[in-house]
Amino acid sequence: MKKIFLIAVAVFSAFVANAQTPCSFKYGATEEDSLTCAEQITLFRTFYNQKQYAEAYTPWQYVVNSCPCAWSGTFAYATTMLRALIKAEKDSVHREALIDTLIWSQTAYHTYHPKNCTEGKGLGMKAYYSIQYRSNDINVENQAYEDFVTAAEMEKENTQPAVWDMYFQLAVRRTQRTKDTSAVVDAYERAMEYIDDAIINNQAKFEQCLPQFDTLKAKFDRNEIGKMMFDKEIEKLVKDTSNCQKAISGYRKMNKKLEEGFAPYANGEVLLALYEKKFEANKDNIPALKKMLAILSKDSLCQASATYSEILQILYRAEPSGKVALYLGIKEMGNKDYTQSIQYFNEAIRLFTTNEEKSQPYYFIALIESMRGSYSAARGHAMDALRCNPKFGRAYILIGDMYKNSYNQFTSGGNGVIPGAVYWVAADKYNQAQAIDPSLANECARKRAALPKVSGKTLVENNLQPGQSYHVGGWINENTTVK
């Protein structure tokens, strides 16, 4: 490792000198330089693919010093190599030199390959590794915090989950140190807005990809494209949809982690005191109001405040969106103005861009119709919610509750159905809810356990056996099994 260190010191000095200037020659000033560059890239890739990182480091140094614009993989692969070298290095001085190189490489990636790495991404990862390796230096921490703020505003919804995680951790440290909650609140509201946008954008891309599978299959069946082209396009679609799903999963996990981390600071009274002052100074600042809404909408005390109502109305007039219409619908639902509430929910359905988003207002309309006793209409809207989001288990729970509450419609053998058969179809819906959303398992189990049993006498009188198929008519009109 000593050889690596000696080269690192010399080359890193050259890095600093050249980092801010574009490459005069992509592959080298002369043909000979270009050939040498190509050879060194090949050497680096060979050693890198074999995970021989100590050997890969020397040709890598040549490339970043002599022809950094030649190949984007020089920087894309550098992080894995440098982290492995840092982990293996025992000498503290040598290790610090390698850490310097790793941190520098994050922003250098953008400098030399701006099409492959944005400035915000490079800055965010520079801050990330600065904290990962030098978390005990308060000056490093303060600089990293500022870099995270800048990077997040540059990248917005494209900010990586790892950056949100480290940024929020620093905000918590700052709040604990200064006893001022503004840092953690600011980080949380920024993250909630942009992470939400990231999930929506990736969901939209995912939904746009799905119909293309059928389109390609139809073209192939009509012999409009050959097998090779069909396989190539299908492979690309599979990769795109998989990437979208991975991104959605990653952002949702981060969302949950940040919510848990923010919980100790999510006191409604404290938040209101902070945001009432902030609101007065930002009534015309739409981006700021959106971030405030992301926080206030998560607390019931905040939702009942005049500040929350004013923010909603300002945003609704300035930039009507599905989210704002949804929140207005929920607010009016709480005020028991169901007619106005449904109007807002229908507007939210129209304004939302993804099916998954539309499932929420459909569900709330179903909830209102169920409270009105319009069970058939409510079930229709609940099924709309499930059509938009097949994992929306609560829609099945709502349908199950309506089936259970329909008992009185069938108490005297009405519609040719024995009393209590509605409990069987209700149990079916609770089972379906649990199957598509395991997080609802406990709630579904409690609801199933609370369903009254049909007496054995009733089963005998109607010549029924457990497990036998049975049709529940009336408005329910579903098949079930005797339980």
Question: Does the predicted model carry a pTM greater than 0.85?
Answer: no
Cβ contacts of residue 121 below 8 Å, gap of 6+?
110, 151, 155, 158, 160
Supply the DSSP symbol for 452.
P
Give the C-alpha separation, 297 to 308, whole Å: 8
pLDDT at site 62: 96
Judge whether 134 lies within some domain.
Answer: yes
What 8-state DSSP symbol labels residue 343?
Answer: H
pLDDT of residue 411: 67
What's the CA gap between 326 and 334, in Å, rounded?
Answer: 12
pLDDT score, position 1: 44
SS3 per-residue string spanning 79-121? HHHHHHHHHHCCCHHHHHHHHHHHHHHHHHHHHHCCCCCCHHH
CA distance from start to end of the chain: 72
Determine, yes or no, domain membership for 302. no
**Does any domain span residue 145?**
yes
Domain that holds residue 114: 2-168
Closest CA to 303 of 277, 327, 336, 282: 327
Query: Is 434 inside a domain boundary?
Result: no
Run of H or E including 471: strand 469-472
What tokens appear for 30 in the block? 């002369």
Check residue 19 and give its pLDDT. Answer: 41
Name the CA radius of gyration of the chain, rounded. Answer: 30
Tell me the angle at which helices 92-112 and 2-18 cross, rounded to the nearest 10 degrees.
40
What one-character-per-residue DSSP string does 264-330 give?
GG--HHHHHHHHHHHHHT-TT-HHHHHHHHHHHTT-HHHHTSHHHHHHHHHHHHHS--HHHHHHHHH
Query: With contact defined as beta carbons under 8 Å apart, do 381 and 342 qualify?
Result: no
Say what the pLDDT of residue 16 is: 41
CA nearest 112: which of 159, 76, 148, 81?
Answer: 76
Q: 109 - beta bridge partners?
A: none
Q: Domain for residue 8, yes or no?
A: yes
Judge whether 48 lies within some domain: yes
Instruction: Give a yes or no: residue 31 inside a domain.
Output: yes
How many domains is the chain partitioned into structurally? 1
Domain-located, residue 432: no
- The pLDDT profile of the chain, 483 residues, written as one tens digit per residue, is 444 444 444 444 444 434 445 788 888 889 999 999 999 999 999 999 999 999 999 999 999 999 999 999 999 999 999 999 999 999 999 999 999 999 999 999 999 999 999 999 999 999 999 999 999 999 999 999 999 999 999 999 999 999 999 999 999 999 999 988 889 999 999 999 899 999 999 999 999 999 999 999 999 999 999 999 999 999 999 999 999 999 999 999 999 999 999 989 888 888 888 888 889 999 999 999 998 998 899 888 999 999 999 999 999 999 999 999 999 999 999 999 999 999 999 999 999 999 999 999 999 999 999 999 999 999 999 999 999 999 999 999 999 999 999 988 876 555 568 888 999 999 999 999 999 999 999 999 999 999 999 888 889 888 899 999 999 998 999 999 999
The DSSP call for residue 337 is -
Beta strand spans in 151-266 (E)? none
Contact 45, 38 (CB under 8 A): no
What tokens were used for 478? 């579903």
Q: What is the sign, positive or negative, of the torsion defined by CA atoms of 65, 71, 72, 78?
A: negative
CATH number at residue 150: 1.25.40
